[in-house]
Amino acid sequence: MAEERTFIAIKPDGVQRGLVGEIIKRFEQKGFKLVAMKFLTASEDLLKEHYIDLKDRPFYAGLCKYMHSGPVVAMVWEGLNAVKTGRVMLGETNPADSKPGTIRGDFCIQVGRNIIHGSDSVESAKKEAALWFKPEEMTAYKSCAVDWIYE
């Protein structure tokens, strides 16, 4: 089985609205394995690096400022097709385009308050996880539920 890891971050609006537990619950219930998690107020430097691909976009400065405005929950989840499936679970970047049953479809109204970030590719996931976590902060273990999740 080719497992992969994805980086997921609950943004300040998700934390402030008390949605951390619900979001973690959805990833756990799906069958993904949590391998790293931090609760922190991210530094401006970390956020500028995280969103470096967007630096030429008009909303870049505001996005970094917003993400620095309060605590976030940074996580790495592992499982089969974790990046693609995680993105489907999140819904569209613009919550207005998200289907009910997705995180953004159920909990968000505007794109500027879409409560969660998820890696958009395996390469991005590796880069983002390495940016937010040291190697020793990520765990490797076999979940006792693995045989009940995968064939």
Burial class (CB in 10 A: 0-12, 13-18, 19+), 76: buried
Distance CA 83, CA 102 (A): 15
Residues forming the annotated binding site for ATP? 11, 59, 87, 93, 104, 114
- To the query of whether residue 117 is one of the catalytic residues in this protein, the response is yes
- Could you report the per-residue pLDDT of 5-30, keeping only the tens digit for each? 999 999 999 999 999 999 999 999 99
User: In the chain, what are the domain boundaries?
Assistant: 5-42+72-142
- Could you report the per-residue pLDDT of 27-78, keeping only the tens digit for each? 999 999 999 999 999 999 999 999 999 999 999 999 999 999 999 999 999 9
- Catalytic residue among 117, 118, 132, 133, which? 117
What's the CATH superfamily of 5-42+72-142? Nucleoside diphosphate kinase-like domain (3.30.70.141)
Band of pLDDT at residue 122, cut at 50, 70 and 90: very high
pTM: 0.95
